[in-house]
Amino acid sequence: MITIRPQAERGTANFSWLDSKHSFSFGNYYDPQQMGFASLRVINEDKIIPGKGFGTHGHQDMEIISYVLSGELAHKDSMGNGSTIRPGNVQRMSAGTGVRHSEFNASDTEPVHLLQIWIMPEQRGLKPSYEEKKFAPEAKQGKLRLVGSKDGRDNSVTIHQNVDLYLASLTSGDRLTHEVKNDRVAWLQVAKGAVLLNEKLLQAGDGAAVTDEAQIAIAGNSKDSEILLFDMAK
């Protein structure tokens, strides 16, 4: 079964410096029917104006993944990490027993557009940690590239949960298949463009929960599309 989460039905937060869309309940947006899916708790699509961002704030017991679609995001945290995240980079921060960080648009002239993803860890009280890796455009062009996993295989970032996270860039005519095992579910998030998921049309901002499907087919339906696919334990 495929259940579509339309982009137009997401929660919103609009400030002078931030335009945010929430696939699941977050902040002041609360919907008891949209509290996450399996271990996936948050998918926020954020657009931040130049020179602005999230001041220093704390997190605990959450796997936080940032993926920049355009622009640059400056990150600093209480573990001593500081970096500028650019398109193609995947950042993973395990908040564990507690971490504080800030995220700002690194540019004074261009906006930054990103996805922020929260995944509930397998256990609480982990030691906070940080990881960031860059994936070349050709590594995900027309194919699913593993970028996050529990065991860090294939040079993916390590997520402390039974989740495989894939990225793919598709053009019209590209077609992928992915097997979903009996004890697992999947979530597909369209970051750019449009795709067909088992012949169902999904456009930028749409998500889809996949349950009781042995295999899914993903086809590009626009010139330039990008997806994230989460394959998770039930």
DSSP state of 144: -
Q: How many residues does the chain have?
A: 234
What domain count does the chain have?
Answer: 1
| pLDDT at residue 68, rounded to an integer | 97
| pLDDT at residue 222, rounded to an integer | 94
Amino acid letter, 108: D
Q: Residue 161 in contact with residue 188, Cβ under 8 Å?
A: no
pLDDT in tens, 29-48: 999 999 999 999 999 999 99
- 3-state class (DSSP) for residue 66: strand
pLDDT in tens, 79-118: 999 999 999 999 999 999 999 999 999 999 999 999 999 9
| CATH code of the domain in which 54 resides | 2.60.120.10
DSSP state of 126: P
pTM: 0.96
Identify the domain containing residue 55 by its residue range.
2-233
pLDDT in tens, 219-231: 999 999 999 999 9
In angstroms, the CA 59 to CA 82 distance is 17
| pLDDT at residue 32, rounded to an integer | 96
pLDDT in tens, 104-157: 999 999 999 999 999 999 999 999 999 999 999 999 999 999 999 999 999 999
Q: Return the structure tokens found at 47.
A: 């657009």
Q: Give the CA radius of gyration of the chain.
A: 17
How distant is the alpha carbon of residue 197 from its chain centre?
Answer: 18
pLDDT in tens, 50-75: 999 899 999 999 999 999 999 999 99
pLDDT in tens, 160-214: 999 999 999 999 989 999 999 999 999 999 999 999 999 999 999 999 999 999 9
Burial class (CB in 10 A: 0-12, 13-18, 19+), 212: exposed
